[in-house]
Amino acid sequence: MSEVLEQEAKASTGHASKYTRNNPYLSTVSVNYLLTGQGSEKETRHVELTLEEGMTYTPGDAVGIIPENRPEAVADVLKALGYRGDERVLDHYKVEISLEEALRTRLGIGKLARGSVGQYAKLVPELDGLKVLVGPENKARAEEYCWGREFVDLATDFPGVITEPQQLFNVLQRLTPRMYSIASSQKQHPDSVHTTVRVIRYDSHGRSRQGVASGHIGDRAGEGMKIPIFLHSNANFRLPEDTTAPVIMIGPGTGIAPFRAFLEERQATGQTGDNWLFFGEQREKMDFLYKDQLLGMVKEGVLKRLDTAFSRDQACKVYVQDRMQENAKELFEWLERGAYFYVCGDATRMAKDVETALLDVIARGSNGTLEHAAEYLAAMKKQKRYQRDVY
Ligand SMILES: Cc1cc2nc3c(=O)[nH]c(=O)nc-3n(C[C@H](O)[C@H](O)[C@H](O)COP(=O)(O)OP(=O)(O)OC[C@H]3O[C@@H](n4cnc5c(N)ncnc54)[C@H](O)[C@@H]3O)c2cc1C
Ligand SMILES: NC(=O)c1ccc[n+]([C@@H]2O[C@H](COP(=O)([O-])OP(=O)(O)OC[C@H]3O[C@@H](n4cnc5c(N)ncnc54)[C@H](OP(=O)(O)O)[C@@H]3O)[C@@H](O)[C@H]2O)c1
């Protein structure tokens, strides 16, 4: 590898690796099982992917997975456009492939983008109904149309003739990799990387849909299958360098993933800092992800505290931030001892609510105002003691 390429690879992974999103490693799925139990509303899977010697990661990093669109979805698009699939097109690197392969491995035919509607309308301008979805003045209407729809809906709702299959490269965005927080420590699993994947499935506008990558992992990436991956460094989500520092982790749902990695790392290296995990999911019976391993860590003393919030096991919702509030005094004592505070999972609501609760815990603990709490949190951020990995 040239020096320049090596530097690029280091920048994207934090380690010298020849594999990047544009040059992924063809990994084998060595383990893929359902973590959630029968009756759960979730389908969350534990997935282990093999690594080649020399591929290294640090807890806090993510793994990029390069998905494929499901064959049925590709067939639906071909049918809607009136193509056979063996038509020849040039991919983004000018390599000639079949249209079927392009739709399966190169182009985003999932979740419809507003830009695609605009580009499609340019190719089939004679279609009246489309006009009201195009242009800045129709942004809101176009977004409403796109919600819960895929490209096949557009091509079916507005059937038009696209004379050249190559033009689809202007209409459809590139199929992008999906990131997953790494759920393992390489100190315990030298040859593999683990992830915790929630499979997205839903019905909308009369069709059954699934997330492109999570659906691929749920339905077609069984044990023994190959899947292209790359490692992605995240220097902003790291265990403290001081191995004796206490750590507080808030990880509901798939947010548990990097904390499994943190705990495995601290366990494997005998770090003596106290660990406190808050985990939340819908129901204890079927959604307590990694239950046996976590309870084992409590028994072993790796986890000093494990607080769970099963939101749907009682009439009123209970969330991780409620557990924080219930334990406000002790939580503040940990912070005063220099604890690092980590949050992973839902960005839209959970992470904001957890921050509000944290500010409240600090204000109450210090007998101070919320302004004082905000300054306290700002100082923690500066010391890298407040880190979030939310999506
Ligand atoms: C740094 C990072 C770490 C991550 N870690 C994890 C992780 O550890 N585990 C994990 O599972 N995910 C994780 N994610 C999310 C993951 O990258 C993917 O975004 C996720 O798996 C969905 O990808 P997909 O291809 O399956 O779905 P896509 O094909 O991308 O579809 C998802 C989209 O479908 C639409 N949608 C979903 N449900 C509905 C509905 N009911 N009605 C209408 N539309 C709907 C939404 O627009 C949604 O954005 C992480 C993301 C980032 C950025
Ligand atoms: N990009 C994607 O499409 C994609 C794919 C997979 C996951 N994700 C995101 O990843 C995150 C994790 O998903 P997940 O299904 O594993 O778990 P999740 O949806 O975050 O649910 C985990 C637990 O958090 C609870 N919760 C809901 N709102 C909360 C809040 N405001 N504060 C605290 N807890 C709250 C849930 O309770 P209730 O459900 O009972 O309210 C549940 O008990 C979510 O953001 C999810 O949308 C996104």
Per-residue pLDDT tens digits for 194-246: 999 999 999 999 999 999 999 999 999 999 999 999 999 999 999 999 999 99
**The CATH number of 3-66+177-232 is which of 2.40.50.100, 1.10.510.10, 3.90.110.10, 2.40.30.10?**
2.40.30.10
Q: Is 90 exceeded by the pLDDT of residue 329?
A: yes
Nearest CA to ligand 1 atom 5: 180
Q: Any idea which residue has 């028994």 for tokens?
A: 299
Task: Please state the domain extents for the chain.
Answer: 3-66+177-232, 71-171, 247-390
| pLDDT classification of 18: cutoffs 50, 70, 90 | confident
More confident residue, 124 or 108: 108
- From the CA of 348, give the closest atom in ligand 2: 45
Confidence of residue 2 (pLDDT cuts 50, 70, 90): very low
344 ligand 2 Cβ < 6 A: no
- Between 135 and 286, the more confident residue is 286
- Atom number of ligand 1 nearest to Cα 389: 1
Q: Is the pLDDT of residue 6 over 80?
A: no
pLDDT at 333 over 50: yes
Mean predicted confidence (pLDDT) in 155-171 = 93
- Bridge partners (DSSP) listed for residue 340: 247
Taking the centre of ligand 2 as the mean of its atom positions, its distance from the CA of residue 160, in whole angstroms, is 39
* Alpha carbons 252 and 351: distance in angstroms, whole number: 10
What pLDDT does residue 284 have? Answer: 98
pLDDT at 129: 82
CA of 229 to the centre of ligand 2 (A): 25
Report whether pLDDT(8) > 50: no
Residue 7 pLDDT exceeds 70 = no
- CA torsion, ordered 250, 252, 255, 261, to nearest 10 deg: 60
Distance CA 195, CA 342 (A): 18
Check if 179 has its Cβ closer than 6 Å to any atom of ligand 1: yes
User: Which ligand number lies closest to the CA of residue 236?
Assistant: 1
Regarding predicted confidence, which is higher, 323 or 1? 323
Residue 15: pLDDT band by 50, 70, 90 thresholds? low
Between the CA of 96 and the centroid of ligand 1 the distance, in Å, is: 30
Whether 128 shows a pLDDT value over 90: the answer reads no
- Please name which ligand lies nearest the alpha carbon of 46: 1
Q: Which two tokens stand for residue 241?
A: 């360098």
Nearest-CA neighbor of 249 among 213, 217, 273? 273
Q: In whole angstroms, what is the distance from residue 136 CA to residue 142 CA?
A: 9
d(CA 209, CA 18): 35
Atom nearest to 254 CA in ligand 2: 16
pLDDT for residue 141 is more than 60:
yes
Flag whether pLDDT at 313 surpasses 60: yes
The domains spanning 71-171 and 247-390 adopt the same CATH topology: no
Q: How far is the CA of 211 from the centre of ligand 1 (A)?
A: 7
184 lines ligand 1 (CB under 6 A): no
| Ligand number with the minimum distance to the CA of 253 | 2
Mutate to test the pocket of ligand 2, among 254, 282, 353 (most ligand atoms within 8 A of CB): 254
Looking at the domain 247-390, which fold is it? Rossmann fold (3.40.50)
What is the Cα–Cα distance from 313 to 298, expressed in whole angstroms? 22
Whole-number pLDDT of residue 316: 97
The domain 71-171 is placed in CATH, from the list 1.10.645.10, 1.20.990.10, 2.60.40.790, 1.10.1060.10, at: 1.20.990.10
Three-class secondary structure assignment of 242-274: CCCCCEEEECCHHHHHHHHHHHHHHHHCCCCCC
Instruction: Please state, for a pLDDT cut of 70, what percent of the chain lies above it.
Output: 96
- CA torsion sign for 197, 43, 343, 334 is negative
